[in-house]
Amino acid sequence: MSFPPIHRIVTGHDAAGKAIVSTVGPLPTVIELAAIPGTVFHEVWSTASTPAAADNGPDPTIGPLTLPPPPLGTRLRFVDIPPDTAEFLALGAARMHDAFTQVGDATASTVRAHSPHPLMHRTESVDYGIVIDGELTLVLDDSEVALRPGSVVIQRGTNHAWANRSQRPCRILFVLIDAAYDPAISAALAQR
């Protein structure tokens, strides 16, 4: 099963300040991860400051794929996640450095020999994850939560993975917001 392409409409202003449609069509940046076939990142938009610039600037999704949002910024993306396979669960941890390098953040992977899932990772961001279609399991260090369409996860910089234990792909929408760890959490993470 494959999902329909994302159709994006970007607005702007003309020289007189009138609202216009700047672009309409498919996303220019859609990338399948080589180390995790079937995992596809659909880059929709990002902002690089707070407050965000409401301007007619260039498309911020053109360029290398980057997992976290920019400093003081946001990132909006869909991710298609294929079902976990026995091969991936057994051998996937060895490919995570390559996978996270492809998404521009090799240091995000936290997978270790005792990790509950090969995709364990962490970013210093607050992420809103909304399941659009399919099913996932949110895997944390010591717990799991089943997710289905309409489930919304507020991911606050914690170590986690997305396990797909179903028989079909899942599409999830993410809004990532740059964040800074609370000093006590930062100190605890430094001890791990």
| pLDDT tens-digit series, residues 128-166 | 999 999 999 999 999 999 999 999 999 999 999 999 999
pLDDT of 192 reads: 84
Residue 2: pLDDT band with limits 50, 70, 90: confident
Read off the DSSP letter of residue 151.
-
**Is pLDDT above 80 for 1?**
no
What domains does the chain contain, in order, with CATH numbers? Answer: 29-190 (2.60.120.10)
pLDDT at position 49: 96
Residues 68 and 176: beta-carbon distance below 8 Å: yes
SS3 8: strand
Helix (H) / strand (E) containing 148: none
Cβ 109 vs Cβ 96: under 8 Å: yes
Tens-place pLDDT, residues 36-68: 999 999 999 999 999 999 999 999 999 999 999
Residues 170-180: tens digit of each pLDDT: 999 999 999 99
Contacts of residue 2, defined as CB under 8 A and 6 or more positions apart, other chains included, come to 80, 169
Total-model pTM: 0.95
pLDDT at residue number 25: 98
